Amino acid sequence: MDAVVSTPAATETESRPLVRQLTWWVLAFPAAMVVALATRDLYLLDFTHVMAGALWTGTDIFMGFFVGPILRRLTPEQRKAVIGWLVPRTLLYLPVLALTTGTAGWYMANWLGMLAPSSPDRPWVIGALVIIAILTVQGLGILLPNSLRTYRELQRPVPDLERIFRLNRRNNSLAGVQGVFQVLIILVMAHLTVG
- Tell me, yes or no, whether 12 lies in a domain: no
Question: Are 185 and 57 spatial neighbours (Cβ–Cβ below 8 Å)?
Answer: yes
Question: Does 10 have pLDDT greater than 80?
Answer: no
CB atoms inside a 10 Å sphere around CB 175: 26
- Tell me, yes or no, whether 70 lies in a domain: yes
pLDDT for the residue numbered 14 = 57
Cα separation, 9 vs 16, in Å, equals: 11
Question: Does 15 have pLDDT greater than 70?
Answer: no
Cα separation, 188 vs 195, in Å, equals: 10
- Give the 3-state secondary structure percentages of the chain, helix then strand then coil, rounded to 5: 85, 0, 15
The percent of residues in the chain predicted with pLDDT above 70, rounded, is: 92
Cα separation, 36 vs 149, in Å, equals: 35
Question: Does 7 have pLDDT greater than 80?
Answer: no
pLDDT for the residue numbered 171 = 84
Segment 140-149 long-range contacts (CB within 8 Å, at least 24 positions apart):
140/95, 140/98, 142/170, 142/171, 142/174, 143/94, 143/171, 143/174, 143/175, 143/178, 144/91, 144/94, 144/95, 146/170, 146/171, 147/87, 147/90, 147/91, 147/171, 148/91
What residue numbers bound the domain in which 34 lies?
A: 21-194
- Tell me, yes or no, whether 26 lies in a domain: yes
- Tell me, yes or no, whether 56 lies in a domain: yes
Instruction: Strands of the chain (E only): list them.
Output: none
What's the pLDDT tens digit per position in 64-117? 788 888 888 888 888 888 888 888 888 889 899 999 999 999 999 999 999 999
Q: Which of 6-10, 107-111, 124-128 has the lowest mean pLDDT?
A: 6-10
- The mean per-residue pLDDT over the stretch 110-134 comes to 94
- Tell me, yes or no, whether 15 lies in a domain: no
- Whole-model pTM? 0.81
3-state class of 6 per DSSP?
coil
- Tell me, yes or no, whether 147 lies in a domain: yes
- Tell me, yes or no, whether 3 lies in a domain: no
| Structural domains counted in the chain | 1
- Tell me, yes or no, whether 7 lies in a domain: no
Q: Which residue in 21, 91, 100 sits closest to 54, CA to CA?
A: 100
DSSP state of 117: T
Q: Nearest 5°: CA angle at 120, between 116 and 125?
A: 70
